[in-house]
Structure 1
Amino acid sequence: MKLTTEQIECINQTLISKGVKFDDLKLEVLDHIATEIENEMEVSNNDFPVVYNQVFDNWSEEFKLTRDFFSLQSTYPKIVNSKLKNQFQREVIISVVTAILLIISFQVVYNTQEKLEFIRLMKDVMIYTFCTTAAAALLIKFWNLKSKATSTYKHLFDSRFNLLIFSLSFIINPSIPHDLTNQNLFVATIGCFFVSLLSIIFLGMKHIQFQRKFSIQ
């Protein structure tokens, strides 16, 4: 049994009132809940208000407010924080893998002078990557000013964008560690930093893609 436009809007407004305000996640959850309501109405022959209350009761745990994973002040429904955490966990895993691969590559270089050249090369790559990322991020930031849609991607992009300013100190620092322990730590840090820069572009582009789909809808 297909829901009417008014019934779908009722679900939409309920999700907003429960704190699911990111459009990408709201559309995803709305689709799941609407499908559940349609199936239940068809099976039980109950009216929309009855099934509506039953389904939202089943989802109540997902709408409980929890503290924002990236803030000590903001709170979001559990389902929102879960999506934010999942993205962060993916980034952590990729960062760790990248750091390990770079450290392994660094160990292959035995000569002390060559190790220093290896690190200098990585720093040069990081400078170019940072400049490219900063330029692209500014363009995406400008695009987002015109965006009418909100998304978890935009939320995460904005939180990462602020890190660009703080990362300047790491980029412009000319010093290179000469002891092996700090060199390995430095190489691992560069690997994590490289992933964080790429994640800024990834999140920004994902929001732009969603914005285009959202405009069509």
Structure 2
Amino acid sequence: MKLTNQQIAIIDQTLIDKGVVYEEIKLELLDHIVTDIESETEESNFDIAFSKAIFKWQRELEEIKPSGKFATPRIVKEKFSKITKNQYKFSLLAAVIFSILMTTITRLKPEEYVYYNLHLVFYSVNSLICLTNIIGLFFIWKLKIKTIYGRFFQTNLGFTFFNFYLIYSGLNKLNNLYRYYNYKSIFLYFFDCFIKGLYFFMAVYLVIIALEHFKVIKKYKLV
């Protein structure tokens, strides 16, 4: 059976009513459900075929309440959780590598100019990443197109604002870095770099997420 635009609109609205409001997830599900219905060769009744298709995707559309918050479909929750896990995997690994490099370089070359230049470059790049996220937030807000990536970006933007505090605090003591760090143990210096690196790479990950948001818009021609 070949579906009409009106029937496709009914499926689309049903998905929205079930909480699937993010465009890439909704369009993916819509495509699957339309295919399931159109491939139903033994059934020419749309309502029956539609019910069968919805039943097939019942688990993905099942409403769950994460931590007592508003109900959301399982497919949305799982997608959001996957992005969150990837963020922490990426940020933790990158922060460890960053901390090892910073600690090694400053221990091999413990001169004052090394501390100064390394941290100056770090704070400069960090500032650029944070400003990129602020600009990304503006365009995501302006377009008003809902994607799971855009939602994740907006929910986790607090990491970027905390980075501004770290940048401000770090720049204020930039000229005293040698005295500040030279008397710290390797462990404390590593831990200090790890915390800064963790928030930095979380902000970097948000840049990646913002790009994914705009890729979805381009892929599905939503503007």
**Fold similarity call, TM over 0.5:** yes
What is the identity, as a one-letter code, of the residue corresponding to 1:9? A
Residue 185 of structure 1 is matched in structure 2 by: 191
Contact 1:149 1:214 in 2 (8 A): no
Residue 52 of structure 1 is matched in structure 2 by: 50
Shift of 1:121: 4.8
Q: Distance in 1 between matches of 2:65 and 2:120?
A: 39
Contact 1:123 1:171 in 2 (8 A): no
Q: Distance in 2 between matches of 1:107 and 1:126?
A: 14
The 1:17–1:118 alpha-carbon spacing in structure 2 relative to 1, beyond 3 Å, is farther
Unaligned runs of 5+ in 2: 174-179
SS at match of 1:111: helix
Residue 95 of structure 1 is matched in structure 2 by: 91
Residue 80 of structure 1 is matched in structure 2 by: 76
What is the identity, as a one-letter code, of the residue corresponding to 1:204? A
Contact 2:18 2:61 in 1 (8 A): yes
RMSD: 2.8
The one of 60, 63, 77 aligned to 1:62: 60
Q: Distance in 1 between matches of 2:118 and 2:156?
A: 22
Residue 24 of structure 1 is matched in structure 2 by: 24
1:194-213 to structure 2, matched below 5 A, reads 194-213=200-219
The 1:13–1:110 alpha-carbon spacing in structure 2 relative to 1, beyond 3 Å, is closer
TM-score, normalisation: structure 1: 0.82
Residue 111 of structure 1 is matched in structure 2 by: 107
Q: What is the aligned length? A: 213
Q: Distance in 1 between matches of 2:70 and 2:121?
A: 36
Q: Distance in 2 between matches of 1:205 and 1:114?
A: 38
Residue 5 of structure 1 is matched in structure 2 by: 5
1:122-133 to structure 2, matched below 5 A, reads 122-133=118-129
The 1:166–1:52 alpha-carbon spacing in structure 2 relative to 1, beyond 3 Å, is same
Deviations 1:67-96 (A, max 9, x none): 45xx86343211001111111111222123
Contact 2:127 2:164 in 1 (8 A): no
Deviations 1:27-85 (A, max 9, x none): 1111112112222x12x3352211211121122222222345xx863432110011111
Unaligned runs of 5+ in 1: none
Q: Distance in 2 between matches of 1:72 and 1:131?
A: 36
